[in-house]
Structure 1
């Protein structure tokens, strides 16, 4: 299946990545406030998820310092090690956590990030969110220094507004660099970046969008619509999201039904159709990082990269999703 996956350039960088990466938040080992969002996964399961992802053509993995305070990074390193030569060409993206810190922490914590990743190269280092004690400019100067030192390959941001993204790219240009990506929430049911300037600015600057929560925490899989009792089994705070409530599921059912129809036509699943829309609706601009807590989730992810919806289907899904979203 791997030869069917067409790699694309990540924004202004020279990284050639699969349209889907694997989001690794769920590898947090239940550690810390952020890590408790997911149940603990055993090492064998993590290893199998990473192996299936690599075999299916996914060649990059997105983790972060705040995912279990380094636990996700360590789990990813161990799983890549288990995968052997299969992981030789794998790329790693991680993130610095800025809250209650200054830009000096970027350089001060980079060796810890590298250590948690077993000495592996950080191909993309991202500022996890825009709130810190330092300016965007200070953070970008610190990131550029790490590129110059050879400790990271490229610079990205996450949850940055259009204005802050533009400022980050401007400062990086002073160092002969460019902003590679902005990681934001984006999916068929959450289209805010289309209206707040983020997507338009990304296209203008040549910055990639990395979409997290690409399935709206699993709602776009359709399984909760077909079996609402599954909502009660959800662990952690996501079960209280409005989309999981009875009226939320009812509102989005027309979109799910269309995803199911297209899934039947493509011998795919609603999950794969939703992911395929994300990675094709805006040319090569949008990448996505679905997670996986079970091996079969990883298998679903990779299958989403082996076909392409038509232009008419992409447009139709976008319009239908916009309609159900307006009914809130």
Structure 2
């Protein structure tokens, strides 16, 4: 058993826990994106944030589009309530590019800072690669924000290898690093290992921040144990094929192996998954599982209190390759 320590995010000087808290679920049911999750009570959200910090998670990932800033405001209010200093935790948020030009990045930064109650933006990310402006213009705008001290580091999200390389090259013109690329990645979705993105990220010293590491709960094993549970969930998950009772047997072999290791380490299946994520590729991958319950926040952090062996990591990897959901 070995507690996993903080690590540098990419080529930045920012050291953070390998597991952060994804805050999409704090959208309060606002806007189309926020309605993906049930609205949580303020007290529940505050406790989730507090417990995450108490158990070693020291950074949070949110976004403008999560409830039109609702998630950012919830996060900042909770940190204020618990008297968490500005530099005690790190905050990452994202600019939403849909139907916007790069000029919007600078024009809207004060709204993001206001939503976060003027807490530092440690990582500012382009949320998607579909702005009406070029990647070059977006990166130039982001570089200007960093030069002005309005953001501390620059990242992207959902960029493919080519787009990530272009963003990196543009920032390099100003001697600035592309610190991270936030993408979907899990044991059941390992496309970034086959399409060149992960290898390129390692080459560029750009950290990979993995969202949906538990495949929206599928990898927790709870739906394999009780397939009827999916009918009680919020959002579109109940209609996704991977959660259907006749599809669960496809991923059962992997989940069964994860359960064996969970029993061996006296932890949960989710903790085995998260531990694999933050260990298998050395220090290259960070993960941002969400939490809608305090117990889940505790589990997320608990995944950093032990380390799977190299042999165990490889065995899980081999089993996962047999049951990939995405080709």
Give TM-score scaled by structure 1 length.
0.97
1:229 and 2:228 correspond: yes
Aligned length: 326
1:61-76 equivalences in 2 (<5 Å): 61-76=60-75
Partner Cα distance (2:314, 2:167) in 1 = 32
1:1-328 equivalences in 2 (<5 Å): 4-85=3-84, 88-325=87-324
Confirm or deny: 8 A CA contact 1:251 1:327 kept in the other structure: no
Partner Cα distance (1:208, 1:111) in 2 = 26
Q: 1:228-256: per-residue Cα shift (whole Å, max 9, x none)?
A: 11011011112212210123211101111
Partner Cα distance (1:59, 1:218) in 2 = 23
Partner Cα distance (1:144, 1:117) in 2 = 20
Name the SS of the counterpart of 2:200 in structure 1: helix
Please tell me the root mean square deviation across aligned C-alpha atoms, in Å: 1.4
**What is the deviation of 1:12?**
1.1
Partner Cα distance (2:322, 2:201) in 1 = 25
Q: Which runs of 5+ in 2 are unaligned?
A: none
Confirm or deny: 8 A CA contact 1:54 1:86 kept in the other structure: no
Name the SS of the counterpart of 2:324 in structure 1: helix
Q: Which runs of 5+ in 1 are unaligned?
A: none
Partner Cα distance (1:326, 1:120) in 2 = 39
Partner Cα distance (2:229, 2:209) in 1 = 29
Return 213-222 or 245-254, whichever deviates more: 245-254
Residues 165 and 232 (structure 1 numbering): CA distance in 2 closer, same or farther, change over 3 Å? same
**Higher helix proportion (structure 1 or 2):** 1
Q: 1:128-171: per-residue Cα shift (whole Å, max 9, x none)?
A: 01001011110000000000110000000000010110110101
Name the SS of the counterpart of 2:25 in structure 1: helix
Name the SS of the counterpart of 1:84 in structure 2: coil
Partner Cα distance (1:305, 1:86) in 2 = 23
Return 65-74 or 312-321, whichever deviates more: 312-321
Confirm or deny: 8 A CA contact 1:64 1:72 kept in the other structure: yes
Partner Cα distance (1:127, 1:327) in 2 = 24
Residues 86 and 109 (structure 1 numbering): CA distance in 2 closer, same or farther, change over 3 Å? closer
Confirm or deny: 8 A CA contact 1:54 1:87 kept in the other structure: no
Partner Cα distance (2:145, 2:326) in 1 = 46
**What is the deviation of 1:79?**
1.0
Partner Cα distance (1:279, 1:207) in 2 = 15
**What is the deviation of 1:5?**
4.3
Confirm or deny: 8 A CA contact 2:58 2:88 kept in the other structure: yes
Q: 1:49-93: per-residue Cα shift (whole Å, max 9, x none)?
A: 001100111010000000000000000001111222477510000
Partner Cα distance (1:54, 1:29) in 2 = 21
Q: 1:92-117: per-residue Cα shift (whole Å, max 9, x none)?
A: 00000011111001001100000000
Give TM-score scaled by structure 2 length.
0.97
Partner Cα distance (2:325, 2:297) in 1 = 32
Confirm or deny: 8 A CA contact 2:129 2:157 kept in the other structure: yes
Partner Cα distance (1:206, 1:47) in 2 = 34
